[in-house]
């Protein structure tokens, strides 16, 4: 089946073709025809299945006929995070380039002035996070009684973030005759209740088992001690053919500390978390997409909706507290038919969390071991050179993917970062990172946690001893 078989207009098909897509995904094949027939739908699909295009494409054709009016958007798309809302806007711009449609993006962290101006001029598509939409509605800057189409995206994430009361309020202000589409990876009881209240005889589409993981992703759990996480992360970055990677942590402070540690060791990394303003978050995402950095350390603000092509690896530096977050985190890799690898660091304190993840997904995640290493480990080599972390120039040349910014640059996110002059001893490097590792307890007498990176493919001997030790036993 091709996109032409779905009943889309020639102008839209041309835009889809120029974007490089020829065959629709399963959710697109099932959802687009009923949307074009103006039916309500419930779409249950895991992340990375092409869900966004399944409602963006038919909406463009539906909205191509009609007239926009000031402060009265013709359609509304609700997204849980700024990043997901921006991603949806990018899809409309890409696929709607042959149509005369205007859109407004209402998200927090940016000035309201331009958003209000766009609403005053009239928009066909309004993409918003619930908080900013409620703010402007209460100020009398927007009217919802002319909205013909409503999309609630990532409904289960809305539930997790406490947005369901806001969504119910917004739905109550919309015309009863509207068309409504709801998409979610899972369908907990509160979301089922929401669909019964606000959708009219919806068509239910489920293209994969709820909470299932992508078969294109090879997942491992890495049993480590808390003090070994950073050394383990650097070892894997150097030895698993990493091209681009997202590293997830549970806390914003951990995101900052891990990024600073990686940068000190010569990795081209950046960070994104909820304490950053929207401009800084957008800048980091653009650097990641452009290849200026190839490692992005993130909190769960980036776990959903972030669509970056070619992410080869996901690392869960912390085991997710909520099992659903595991599915969405690792879903950043293995997208659009590509293969990906996901590593979850598991300490003795994470036994219950990883058990809940395996129960939700119905899969037993294998433990990463010697046979899973993808770069041949060399027994020969200059041991003293590897141990000291010397020769930074050769380390840069051995990086799995050469990026545009090899050198450590001033932090562009607004987070303070100072870089002491590099010294040749491992003791000085350990001391430089001591302040960020206090929660780890006493330092090990052997190879320090924050010694310099070992060149890729030149590890002297087998895997580090700690990767073969069970932290759960």
Q: What is the pLDDT of residues 44-53, one digit of tens each?
A: 987 667 889 9
The span from the CA of 156 to the CA of 80, in Å, is 9
The span from the CA of 355 to the CA of 350, in Å, is 8
- Give residue 404's pLDDT band: very low, low, confident or very high (50, 70, 90): very low
One domain, residues 20 and 151? yes
The span from the CA of 282 to the CA of 292, in Å, is 14
Is residue 292 in a domain?
yes
Burial class (CB in 10 A: 0-12, 13-18, 19+), 179: buried
The span from the CA of 81 to the CA of 306, in Å, is 10
Give the residue from 152, 178, 206 where a domain finishes: 206
Q: Which 3 state secondary structure label does DSSP give 269? A: strand
For residue 18, the enclosing domain spans: 3-206
Q: What is the mean pLDDT of residues 266-295?
A: 90
Give the residue from 150, 178, 206 where a domain finishes: 206
Query: What pLDDT is attached to residue 20?
Result: 85
Q: What is the pLDDT of residues 215-260, one digit of tens each?
A: 788 999 999 988 899 999 999 999 899 999 999 999 999 999 999 9
Query: What pLDDT is attached to residue 302?
Result: 60
One domain, residues 197 and 286? no
Query: What pLDDT is attached to residue 304?
Result: 60
Q: What is the mean pLDDT of residues 258-265?
A: 96
Query: What pLDDT is attached to residue 303?
Result: 57
DSSP class of residue 191 equals H
Q: What is the pLDDT of residues 416-467, one digit of tens each?
A: 333 333 333 333 333 334 333 333 333 333 334 444 433 333 333 345 655 5
Q: What is the mean pLDDT of residues 309-324?
A: 90
Lowest mean pLDDT segment, chosen from 20-34, 143-157, 379-393 = 379-393
Is residue 399 in a domain?
yes
Query: What pLDDT is attached to residue 335?
Result: 77
One domain, residues 47 and 138? yes
More confident residue, 396 or 67: 67
Is residue 212 in a domain?
no
One domain, residues 454 and 428? yes
pLDDT, mean over the chain: 79
Task: Give the CATH number, domain containing residue 16.
Answer: 3.40.50.300
Please, what is the angle between helix 323-330 and helix 351-361, to 10°? 70
CB 32 within 8 A of CB 7: yes
How is residue 10 written in tokens? 């020639």
More confident residue, 21 or 316: 316
- Give residue 323's pLDDT band: very low, low, confident or very high (50, 70, 90): confident
One domain, residues 284 and 221? yes
- Give residue 160's pLDDT band: very low, low, confident or very high (50, 70, 90): confident
Specify the number of domains making up the chain: 2
Is residue 145 in a domain?
yes
DSSP for 47-74, written as a single string = TTSSHHHHHHHHHHHHHTSS--BTTB-S
Alpha helices in 265-415 (DSSP H): 278-290, 323-330, 351-361, 383-388, 392-397
What percentage of the chain carries pLDDT values higher than 70?
76
Query: What pLDDT is attached to residue 467?
Result: 58
Is residue 439 in a domain?
yes
Query: What pLDDT is attached to residue 108?
Result: 83
Q: What is the mean pLDDT of residues 344-355?
A: 93
One domain, residues 169 and 84? yes
One domain, residues 147 and 230? no
Q: How many CA atoms lie within 13 A of 427 on its CB side?
A: 0
One domain, residues 250 and 295? yes
User: Is the per-residue pLDDT at 83 higher than 60?
Assistant: yes
Q: What is the pLDDT of residues 190-203, one digit of tens each?
A: 999 999 999 999 99
One domain, residues 18 and 153? yes
Query: What pLDDT is attached to residue 375?
Result: 60
Is residue 142 in a domain?
yes
How is residue 343 written in tokens? 């590593």
Is residue 103 in a domain?
yes
User: Is the per-residue pLDDT at 324 higher than 80?
Assistant: no
Query: What pLDDT is attached to residue 440?
Result: 36
More confident residue, 447 or 145: 145
Query: What pLDDT is attached to residue 91?
Result: 93
Query: What pLDDT is attached to residue 257?
Result: 96
User: Is the per-residue pLDDT at 383 higher than 80?
Assistant: no
Give the residue from 206, 237, 262 where a domain finishes: 206
Q: What is the mean pLDDT of residues 69-96?
A: 92
Is residue 299 in a domain?
yes
Nearest CA-CA partner of 53 in 336, 434, 246: 336
The residues, ordered by sequence, that sit 6+ positions from 286 with a Cβ below 8 Å of its Cβ are: none
One domain, residues 35 and 166? yes
One domain, residues 320 and 239? yes
- Distances from the Cα of 89 to the Cα of 96, 139, 437, angstroms: 10, 24, 40
One domain, residues 229 and 197? no
The residues, ordered by sequence, that sit 6+ positions from 244 with a Cβ below 8 Å of its Cβ are: 288, 291, 294, 295, 308, 310, 311, 312, 313, 401
How is residue 160 written in tokens? 């997790």
- Give residue 21's pLDDT band: very low, low, confident or very high (50, 70, 90): confident
User: Is the per-residue pLDDT at 176 higher than 60?
Assistant: yes
User: Is the per-residue pLDDT at 412 higher than 80?
Assistant: no
DSSP class of residue 444 equals P
Q: What is the mean pLDDT of residues 119-127?
A: 95
Query: What pLDDT is attached to residue 373?
Result: 78
């Amino acid at each position: 089946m091709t996109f032409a078989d779905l009943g889309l207009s020639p102008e839209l098909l041309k835009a889809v073709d120029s974007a490089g897509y020829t065959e629709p995904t399963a959710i697109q094949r099932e959802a687009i025809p009923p949307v074009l027939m103006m039916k309500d739908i419930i779409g249950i699909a895991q992340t990375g299945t092409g869900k966004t295009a399944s409602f963006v494409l038919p909406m463009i054709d539906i909205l191509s006929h009609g007239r926009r009016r000031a402060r009265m958007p013709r359609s509304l798309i609700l997204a849980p995070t700024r990043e997901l809302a921006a991603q949806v806007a990018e899809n409309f711009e890409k696929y709607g380039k042959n149509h005369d449609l205007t859109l407004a993006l209402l998200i927090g962290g940016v000035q309201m002035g331009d958003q209000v101006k766009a609403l005053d001029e009239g928009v066909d598509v309004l993409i918003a996070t619930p908080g900013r939409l409620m703010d402007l509605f209460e100020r009398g800057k927007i009217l919802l009684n002319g909205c013909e189409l409503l999309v609630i995206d990532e409904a289960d994430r809305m539930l997790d973030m406490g947005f369901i009361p806001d969504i119910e309020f917004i739905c109550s202000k919309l015309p009863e005759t509207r068309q409504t589409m709801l998409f979610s990876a899972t369908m907990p009881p509160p979301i089922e209740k929401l669909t019964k209240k606000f959708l009219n005889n919806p068509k239910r589409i489920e293209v994969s088992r709820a909470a299932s993981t992508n078969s294109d992703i090879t997942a491992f759990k890495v049993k480590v001690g808390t003090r070994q996480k950073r050394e383990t992360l650097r070892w894997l970055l150097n030895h698993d053919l990493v091209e681009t990677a997202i590293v997830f942590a549970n806390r914003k402070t951990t995101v900052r500390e891990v990024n600073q540690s990686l940068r000190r060791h010569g990795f081209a990394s950046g960070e994104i978390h909820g304490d950053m303003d929207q401009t800084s978050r957008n800048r980091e995402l653009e650097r990641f997409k452009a290849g200026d950095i190839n490692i992005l350390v993130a909190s769960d603000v980036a776990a959903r909706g972030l669509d970056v092509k070619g992410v080869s690896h996901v690392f869960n530096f912390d085991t997710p507290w909520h099992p659903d977050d595991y599915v969405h985190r690792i879903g950043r890799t293995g997208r659009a038919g590509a293969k990906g690898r996901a590593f979850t660091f598991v300490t003795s304190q994470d036994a219950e969390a990883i058990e809940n993840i395996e129960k939700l997904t119905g899969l037993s995640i294998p433990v990463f071991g010697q046979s899973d290493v993808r770069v041949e480990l060399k027994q020969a080599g200059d041991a003293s050179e590897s141990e000291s972390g010397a020769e930074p120039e050769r380390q840069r040349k051995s990086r799995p993917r050469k990026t545009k910014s090899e050198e450590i640059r001033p932090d562009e996110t607004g987070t303070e970062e100072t870089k002491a002059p590099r010294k040749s001893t491992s003791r000085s490097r350990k001391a430089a990172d001591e302040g960020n590792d206090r929660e780890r307890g006493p330092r090990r007498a052997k190879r320090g946690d924050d010694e310099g990176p070992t060149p890729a493919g030149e590890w002297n001997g087998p895997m580090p001893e700690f990767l073969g030790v069970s932290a759960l036993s």
